[in-house]
Amino acid sequence: MADWVADLPIGASASFTKTVGEVDVTLFAGLTGDLHPVHIDEELMRKTPYGRRLVHGVFVLGLMSTAGAKLTGSLPVPTVSIGYDRVRFVRPVFIGDTLTATYRIIEHQIARARVVSEVVCVNQQGEEVAAATHLMKVVG
């Protein structure tokens, strides 16, 4: 079972970049039912310090998950996500921002067949907008 360590070495990483569009936010709100005004009411948000609508934090987390899938999806050992710890949304994300999520393996928990990874998402200015620790289970 510990053969997976060679396939998922410490430091291995992958990134995913996406520019968030109006349709992304609208579809995400509809798919999840999260119609909170901060995401869908432009007029209301113009009156706030943000000045415009915010992208859902969980949408950003989804991009972070995609970076992990890029790294692990084609491996010879199947893996499943068992959760994210210490998820932080540290800066607002706006429609039109270009986000890059980077997923990097930082620890092996061989006895538990787990990999721990650091996941960070930055905007087009290189500012961190979100971060988390991801736990992944090797199941094959």
Tell me the DSSP string of 57-102: HHHHHHHHHHHHHHHHTTSSS-EEEEEEEEEEE-S--BTT-EEEEE
pLDDT of the residue at 62: 97
The pLDDT value recorded for residue 53 is 97
pLDDT at position 108, please?
94
Q: Could you tell me which residues come within 8 angstroms of residue 125 by beta carbon, excluding any fewer than 6 positions away?
A: none
- Rounded mean pLDDT of 64-93? 94
Residue 114 burial (CB count, 10 A): 15
Nearest to 15 by CA among 85, 75, 101: 101
Query: Are 95 and 55 a contacting pair, CB within 8 Å?
Result: yes
CATH, domain 4-20+55-138, list 3.10.129.10, 1.20.1640.10, 3.40.50.620, 3.40.630.10 = 3.10.129.10
Portion of the chain with pLDDT greater than 90, in percent: 88
Which tens digit of pLDDT belongs to each residue from 112-138? 999 999 999 999 999 999 999 999 999
Per the CB < 8 A criterion, the answer to whether 94 and 54 are in contact is yes
Instruction: Name the phi and psi angles at 99, rounded to 5.
Output: -110, 140
Q: 2 pLDDT band (50/70/90 cuts)?
A: low
Q: Using the predicted structure, report yes or no on whether residue 49 has a pLDDT greater than 90.
A: yes
CA distance 75 to 138: 11
Statement: residue 1 has pLDDT above 60: no
Least confident of 12-26, 45-59, 72-86: 72-86
